Amino acid sequence: GEQVEQLPSILRVQEGSSASINCSYEDSASNYFPWYKQEPGENPKLIIDIRSNMERKQIQELIVLLDKKAKRFSLHITDTQPGDSAMYFCAASGATGGNNKLTFGQGTVLSVIP
């Protein structure tokens, strides 16, 4: 099955700087790549996603890049704020037999230092 690697596991950045999280996947049939933000004790919340027919997507300070040839995708948070501190998960999905299964990376703990 699909496997997703996510790095780094811990990321500390200064407020106002950029943060980047990188993921790689194995299954070339995967066609949907969401990113989730999870705060302590809370459920993961979908913050941005990209489909395989796109290479770049931006929502405000969030930028997602997808390189299908290299099977890599990444999240970039520009102008980070303390409120961006959380756990971030990347995931990959390629529906098979009716299952929209999300395979998650191991997560990145982002700390934004004021």
Partner 1 sequence: AQTIHQWPVAEIKAVGSPLSLGCTIKGKSSPNLYWYWQATGGTLQQLFYSITVGQVESVVQLNLSASRPKDDQFILSTEKLLLSHSGFYLCAWSLTAGGVEQYFGPGTRLTVL
What does the binding site for partner 1 look like in residue numbers (CB under 8 A)?
Answer: 31-32, 34, 36, 41-46, 49, 51, 89, 93-95, 97-107
Residue among 72 and 101 whose Cβ is closer to partner 1? 101
Residue among 44 and 63 whose Cβ is closer to partner 1? 44
Let me know the angle formed at the C-alpha of 102 by 97 and 67, rounded to the nearest 5 degrees. 105
Q: State the nearest-atom distance from the C-beta of 87 to partner 1, in Å.
A: 9
Residue among 53 and 69 whose Cβ is closer to partner 1? 53
Q: State the nearest-atom distance from the C-beta of 12 to partner 1, in Å.
A: 17
Residue among 72 and 78 whose Cβ is closer to partner 1? 72
Burial 54-68 (b: 16+ CB within 10 A, else e): eeeeeeeebbbbbeb
With beta carbons less than 8 A apart as the criterion, state whether 112 and 82 touch.
Answer: yes
Q: Find, among 45, 25, 29, 26, the residue nearest to 37 by Cα.
A: 45
In the numeric block, the tokens 């395979």 are attached to 103
Q: State the nearest-atom distance from the C-beta of 107 to partner 1, in Å.
A: 5
Q: Find, among 104, 49, 111, the residue nearest to 86 by Cα.
A: 111
